Amino acid sequence: MCGIAGLFIKGARLQPELGALLAEMTSTLCSRGPDSAGFALYTADSPGRTKLTVTSLAGRADFETLAVLLGRSIGAAVYFTNRHTHSVFSVPADLVGQCRSWLAENAQDLRVLSEGANLEIYKEVGYPDDVARQFNIQSFSGTHGIAHTRMATESAVTTTGAHPFSTGADQCLVHNGSLSNHASLRRELLQDGIVAETENDTEVAAGYITRELRRGRALGDALKSTLNDLDGFFTFVVGTKNGFGVLRDPIACKPAVMAETDDYVAFASEYRSLAALPGVADARVFEPKPATPYFWEH
């Protein structure tokens, strides 16, 4: 069944409340997906640096040591911030490829959940309210974010199998639904250099969007192209460095509702997730139409 929440803040006034508002929206969706949850948050950047959000399949806790060793290897400072089972490494933007190669060779239990100047992803197995509390999502400020509560139907309940999925710099996607052609599309994406690390069909959808954006499509056009190339039923919410997009399949069997004010655009699987947002009583509330891309950018 799964639940999705997303919040795109238009101006600076509500940015300090991004995490608190998104966590509250997600809390109402726990019953739709009680086995795991995740949050993608677009936070402040540091010029010339990229953030790698990582987790360990083996329960590694020595992220500080790893950051020191990585810094020695690349000959530059690597900063880190630990949150629960994850760590965010801040590395020089021009050395990201070198950093990822070193981590793949020297810390094979590590998985990079996101890469970007602004994007940080936190996801874990467990009840969504607990996941939000463990990562202190309420403390985040930022421009936009998306969240997901998962009820697994096809792939395993694991940290890396939880949403959101990121397959490109500052890009992420959450999904409610099921794709029937993800296996063939997975092979096609591999030929284009996009490797899916899990069996989750949502990661394939994320990889598809990444490929289309790399080909020069705008976000709205990339979303629209999924209608021809992805089989199944789906509601997607997508984040990019400056943007926020929503798309439902032509049948639109998965619930969705949106609200827009001068301060924000919000998406949720159920209206009750929007009810506590500031100014929602005066918002334009609407159900996104089937097969129609919606997107906003800063």
The pTM assigned to this predicted structure is: 0.96
How does the average pLDDT of the chain come out, rounded?
95
Q: Which strand (E) or helix (H) includes residue 175?
A: strand 171-179
Distance between CA 157 and CA 125 in Å, rounded? 7
Give the confidence band of 152 by pLDDT, cuts at 50, 70, 90.
confident
The alpha carbon of residue 80 and the mean position of all alpha carbons in its chain are separated, in whole angstroms, by 20
Assign 212 to helix, strand or coil.
helix
Q: How far is CA 272 from CA 25, 131, 277, in A?
A: 8, 20, 10
Compute the distance between CA of residue 131 and CA of residue 37 in angstroms, rounded to an integer: 7
Question: Exactly one of 2, 30, 99, 172 is catalytic; which is it?
Answer: 2
| pLDDT per position as a tens digit, 202-235 | 999 999 999 999 999 988 899 999 999 999 999 9
Q: What is the C-alpha to C-alpha distance for residues 92 and 75, in angstroms, rounded to an integer? A: 10
- For residue 139, give the 3-state DSSP assignment: helix
What are the tens digits of pLDDT across the range 44-92?
999 999 999 999 999 988 999 999 999 999 999 999 999 999 999 999 9
Question: Per-residue pLDDT tens for 241-275?
Answer: 999 999 999 999 999 999 999 999 999 999 999 99
2 is catalytic: yes
